[in-house]
Amino acid sequence: MSRCLTLVIVVFTGLVSLARADSYLFTYFTKNGEDGLHLAWSRDGYKWEPLNGGKSYLEPKVGQSKLMRDPCIVRGPDGIFRMVWTSGWNENNIGYASSKDLVHWSEEKEIPVMAHEPTVRNSWAPEIHYDPKREEFIIFWASTIPGRFASTAGSSEDAYNHRIYFTTTKDFTAFAPTKLFFDPGFSVIDATFLHANGRHYLIVKDETVNPPKKYLQIATSDDVQGPFSALSAPFTPEGLWVEGPTAIKIGDEYLVYFDAYQKKHYGALRSRDLKTWEDVTAKMSFPDEGTPVRMRHGTVIAVPDAIVAELRKATP
């Protein structure tokens, strides 16, 4: 992969301003998410190095379980980083905080995204993206509501049957009513966007366990709120159970990272056309691979070199 030092306008990833996208950040959690936010950085998207000595930047303080799993960060047009995360395995809310520098954070708060559903079982892996068309943020996540989507009831472990839901906000004080975001006709989790070529590529995981699917597919749309095309064929390695995808374009290549959780390592695929994919896991280097504090489900974003430089010398 070539090193690309160009002046770009980052629109669909949330930073609507001129920026030198010289470095890349990976937000992630370790173990069960009990110690909070971890960050790693890279110049090329292949070699990732932990920041802050591998220690957490932000301790989880909201939710019944007080976890910080699946941290997803986007930088808004005002330059502020906003993060959402899974605050517990079986909760109706998600966590939220903001930061100007990724070191000093606002007070954490709960967003009760599924509080209107009294029987909801979970609110997993929220993602946040900026929608320049509507000048607002969109947040989506996976939830199981017992009694919904009867044709696939119990198709995931522990009788889960997920669909993707969403809300929108301009100020993180008022939120639009939660609605169904994506129903592919099967239990689905870990949705993430890759914004490219003026379109939106929604990557999702089929969570069906019998017969086992556990792979990634892609649907496309001209609008972040859909409607979405039919899903592509699975593009992750056959027989490999994966979760937690995140994607980015670096140079002229698209990279999709994923957690091969059964084998306890991170993996990656690359493509030039978003149709043909090559497994480049062997070319990757991730923090603490093979250890109990290895990287888990997070998000990759492009940032100016100056932000990484400050992170490398700052201590929370």
Q: Which of 56, 255, 21, 228 shows the shortest CA–CA distance to 140?
A: 228
207 vs 243: CA distance, rounded Å: 9
**Domain-located, residue 2:** no
Spatial contact of 196 and 274, defined as CB atoms under 8 Å apart: yes
**Domain-located, residue 1:** no
Q: What is the pLDDT of residue 11?
A: 38
Does the pLDDT value for residue 19 go beyond 70? Answer: no
Does the pLDDT value for residue 13 go beyond 50? Answer: no
Q: What is the pLDDT of residue 314?
A: 72
DSSP output for the chain: ------EEEE-TTS--EEEE--EEEEEEE-TTSTT-BEEEEESSSSB-EESGGG--SB----SSS---EEEEEEE-TTS-EEEEEE--TT-S-EEEEEESSSSSBPPPEEE-TTTT-TT----EEEEEEEETTTTEEEEEEEE--TTSSGGGTT-SGGG---EEEEEEESSSSS-PPPEEEE--SS-EEEEEEEEETTEEEEEEEE--BTTB---EEEEEESSTT----PPPPP-SPTT---EEEEEEEETTEEEEEEEETTTTEEEEEEESSSSS-EE-GGG-B-TTTTSTT--EEEEEEEE-HHHHHHHHH---
CATH of the domain at 218: 2.115.10.20
The contacts found for 262-269 with CB under 8 angstroms, 24 or more apart, are 264/290, 264/294, 265/289, 265/290, 265/294, 266/294, 266/295, 267/237, 267/240, 267/242, 269/235, 269/236
What are 145-190's pLDDT values in tens digits? 999 999 999 899 999 999 999 999 999 999 999 999 999 999 999 9
| Structural domain count, the chain | 1
**Domain-located, residue 33:** yes
**Structural domain containing residue 177:** 7-313
pLDDT band at residue 251 under the 50/70/90 scheme:
very high
Does the pLDDT value for residue 316 go beyond 70? Answer: no
Q: What is the pLDDT of residue 22?
A: 84
**Domain-located, residue 87:** yes
Mean pLDDT (the chain, rounded): 93
pLDDT band at residue 18 under the 50/70/90 scheme:
very low
Spatial contact of 217 and 235, defined as CB atoms under 8 Å apart: yes
What are 265-290's pLDDT values in tens digits? 999 999 999 999 999 999 999 999 98
**Domain-located, residue 122:** yes
What are 50-63's pLDDT values in tens digits? 999 999 999 999 99
**Which residue carries 């998000």 as its tokens?**
299
92 vs 119: CA distance, rounded Å: 9
**Span 78-100, mean pLDDT?**
98
